[in-house]
Structure 1
Amino acid sequence: MPVKIPDDLPAAEILESENIFIMSETRAKNQDIRPMKVLILNLMPNKIETETQLLRLLGNTPLQVDVDLLRIHDKSSKHTSIEHMNNFYRDFDDIRHKNYDGLMITGAPLGLLPFEEVSYWAHICDIIDWSQKHVTSVLFLCWAAHAALYHLYGLHRQVLDKKRSGVYLHQRTLQHYPLLRGFDDEFFAPHSRHAEMDLNELKAHSELNVLTESKDAGAYMVLSTDNRNLFVMGHPEYQKVTLDEEYKRDVLEGIDPEQPQNYYRDNDPTQEPIARWYGHGSLLISNWLNYYVYQLTPYDLNKISDITPSEHDKA
C-alpha cells in the first residue's frame, strides 16, 4: 500500500527517486475506495487447484478483492465436477455487459496445438477483445500470454524440441517500473511450457516492453506500453509440488520428459523440490493489483472505457 505524506514534505522527492510509492494528502483525500472487481478465466483442467493458487496470491494483498470465476464453455470437465462448475463459474454471456478492474487468464495444456485449431479459439479472441474496453488491466499467464501476443500483436511463438520445465534465474531488463518495485536484481520463477516467444521480436516491438528475462528461459514479464496488458510467460502461482506432479504424470504416461531444472534438491528427483519463487510471485501479483489496477481504475466501473493510454502511463 502507498505511504501517505504531506504534499510538500521534502522526503517526497527522495522517496520517489528510490522508486518508493508515496501518495500526497491531497490525492488521498480525493480517492474513492471500494473492493476491486477481478475476473478469472480459468482454462486449466483442474479448476479447483488453479483457482486456489490464484486466490492465494490475490489474498496476499491488503486490498479487498471481489472475484468472479469464468469458464470458456459449459462442457463437462475431466478433472472438475459439473456441480462445481455450475455453482461457482459464470458463462461469458452472463458478464459480457459488465466491467472489471482486473482480469486474469490462466495457462492451458495446449502448447503443441496451433492456436486456430483450439476448439474455443474464436471464443478466447472474443474475450481478449472485450477485455480491452471492459477491464482496466489484464494479466495473461503462460499459454494465455502467447495466445494474446499472437492475437493482439501478430507475434508467433516457437515450439520447443523439449518442454521448458523448471525454476529459472531471471534479471530485470528495465529498472524503474512500478511492477518491479521490491524486486531483487535477480530472482527465480517457474516455467512449464512447450513453446517460447522470440525475445528479440518482443524487444523490437514498439508497443511492448520486456521487463524481466532469463538467459535460459527467455522473456518472463512483458508489459504493453499503455500498461493495460501484462504477459507473464511462467507460473508465479505454482505451488512447491506442482512441477513435481507434472513431471511424474508425464513419466507415467511414457512421455520421457526431462526433469525440471533447478528444482529438486541436488537436482535429484528422488529428493524434495525447493520452492524459491514464492516471494517474487506474491510481489508480482501485489504490484500488478496495486499499481496497474487499484491506482488506475475509476471508482465508477462504467468509466473504464474512458481510461486513456496516458492515464495508464501514470503507473
Structure 2
Amino acid sequence: MYGTKHNGGWKPMSIIIPKGLPAGYTLATEGVMVMNKDSTVCPLHRPLRVGLLNLMPNKITTEIQIARLLGSTPLQVELTLVKITSHSPKNTPHEHLASFYQDWHDIQAQKFDGFIVTGAPVETIPFEQVYYWSELTHIFRWTQTNVHRCFNICWGAQAAMYYFHGMPKYTLNEKAFGVFKHHGVENKSPYLKGLSDDLTIPVSRWTEMRYTDIPTNSGISVLIDSPDTGLCLLDDPNHHALHFFNHIEYDSHSLADEYFRDREAGRCVHRPRNYFPEDCEALLPKNQWRSHAHLLFANWINQISQTTPIDSNDIGQDRSRTPSIGEVSRSGT
C-alpha cells in the first residue's frame, strides 16, 4: 500500500493540484494533505494522474468535492482539471478557468490513470442536441486508449452508457430529488469493499436509465440500486468504467442549495425527500453518505493503483477495446 510511515503507522498521501487553486485552502483546513506540482513527490512511485472533466455549473464547488475524496486516500493523486474546448462556461470566472483548467484538445496526447466525467445541467436535452456532444463522444472514445479507469457521474454516466451501449434515458414525471436508501447488489465487487449493505445516497435528476435496457452480454454488473430511484452504480469492465447515476460526492448542503436556487428562480420543484431534519427547511441536514463516498472513491483509486501500468506511457497499449454503439453504427457493421 502506498503511503508514508508516521509515528509508527501509515498516514494518507497527498493530492497534487494546480498552485493557487481555491480548493487547496478549503482542503487544507479540513486536514487533507495538499501539494502543488512544484512540491517534492514521493520518490518511490509516481503519483496517480486523474483528470476531472468538470461539466457542473459551479465548478469550484465540484473541484473541492472531488479533490476532497481523492486527497483522502492512502495514495498520492495528481489532479488535472479539464474543460470542454468547444464550450465557454458562464458560471465560473474566466480568470479561474484560464489559471487552472486545460482544454481537452490540449491534453489529449497525455495518459491518465483515472478520469472523471461529472454531471451537467443538460439532462432533459436529447444527447445529440447537447452542443458539445460531438466533442464529448471524442473524449469517451479517447478514454479507451489514454485512460486506465473512468468514473462517470450522473449525466456523465448516462451519456457514457448511451454512447457505449445505446441505452436510452427516460424523463421522470417528478424529479428524483433527496436522499434515498440504496442497496449493494454485487457485494463481492472490489469497488464495494467495506461498504454497508444499505447506503444512503443523494439523488438529483430529472431522468433515469433502466435495468431492462442494459444490453445482453455487455458485461455490465449492477453494483448499487435503489427501490425508490432505480439504478445507481454500474461496473462496465469492457470500457474500464464505473457509471454512477447519483451524487455521492455532494456536500451536506448541496441539495438545499439546489432547492432554494430553483425555488427562487420560480421553478416547480418539491422539497428534497428524506433530507431536512423533521422535514423543516430551517434545520441543517445531516450528512448520511460521507463515509460511503470516501470508501467508494478509495476503492476506485486502490483498484487503479493495483492494475495501472508502472510506466504511464503503457496505459491503453495492451487493451483490446470493445467498440461503442456509435462507432459500430458509423462503420456500417
TM-score normalised by L of structure 2: 0.81
Does residue 1:198 correspond to 2:179, yes or no? no
Matches within 5 A, 1:41-56: 41-56=53-68
Percent identical pairs in the alignment equals 38
DSSP-derived class of the 2:213 partner: helix
Matched, 1:218 2:230: yes
Q: Which of 75, 78, 89 is 2:90 aligned to? A: 78
Q: Report 1:160-309 matches (<5 A).
A: 160-202=172-214, 204=216, 206-226=218-238, 228-291=240-303, 293-308=304-319
User: What amino acid sits opposite 1:269 in the alignment?
Assistant: E
Partners of 2:318 and 2:185 in 1: CA distance: 27
Which amino acid in the other structure matches residue 165 of structure 2? Y
Per the alignment, residue 13 of structure 1 pairs with none
Alpha carbons of structure 1 residues 113 and 227: separation in structure 2 relative to 1, 3 Å: closer
Matches within 5 A, 1:125-144: 125-144=137-156
Q: State how far apart, in whole Å, the 2-side matches of 1:123 and 1:203 are.
A: 25
User: Which of 160, 173, 185 does residue 148 from structure 1 map onto?
Assistant: 160
User: Which stretch has the larger CA shift, 269-278 or 163-172?
Assistant: 269-278
Q: Contact 1:203 / 1:209 at 8 angstroms: preserved in 2?
A: no
Q: Does the CA-based 8 Å contact 1:68-1:89 persist in structure 2?
A: yes
1:61-114 residue CA offsets vs partner (Å, 9 max, x unmatched): 020011111011365432211111011100112111111000001000011111
Using the TM superposition, give the Cα deviation of residue 268 of structure 1 relative to its aligned residue in structure 2, in angstroms: 2.3
Residues of 2 paired with 1:294 and 1:70: CA distance? Answer: 22
Query: Partner of 1:279: helix, strand, or coil?
Result: helix
Displacement, 1:163? 1.2
Once the 2 structures are TM-superposed, how far is the Cα of residue 309 of structure 1 from its aligned partner?
6.9
The CA distance in 2 between the partners of 1:285 and 1:116, in whole Å, is: 30
Alpha-carbon distance change, 146 to 104 in structure 1, aligned in 2, over 3 angstroms: same
2: CA distance, partners of 1:181 / 1:214: 19
**1:185-240 CA-partner distances (Å, limit 9, x unpaired):** 10111111110001232385532110110000111110013471100011111000
Amino acid at match of 1:86: A
Shift of 1:33: 2.7
Q: Residue 110 of structure 2: SS of its match in structure 1?
A: coil
SS of equivalent residue, structure 1 residue 221: strand
Equivalent AA in structure 2 for residue 298 of structure 1:
P
Residue 263 of structure 1: CA displacement? 0.6
Structure 2 counterpart of 1:116? 128
SS of corresponding position for 2:315: helix
Contact kept, 8 Å, 1:202 with 1:209, in 2: the verdict is no
**Contact between 2:57 and 2:89, CA under 8 Å: does it hold in 1?**
yes
Is the Cα contact below 8 Å between 1:44 and 1:109 reproduced in 2?
yes
Aligned length: 281
Give secondary structure in 1 for the equivalent of 2:235: strand
SS at match of 1:168: strand
Runs of 4 or more consecutive aligned structure 1 residues displaced over 6 Å after TM superposition: none
Report the secondary structure of 1:295's partner residue. Answer: helix
1:128-176 Cα offsets, whole Å, 9 max, x none, are 0000111000000000000000000000011111111111111111121
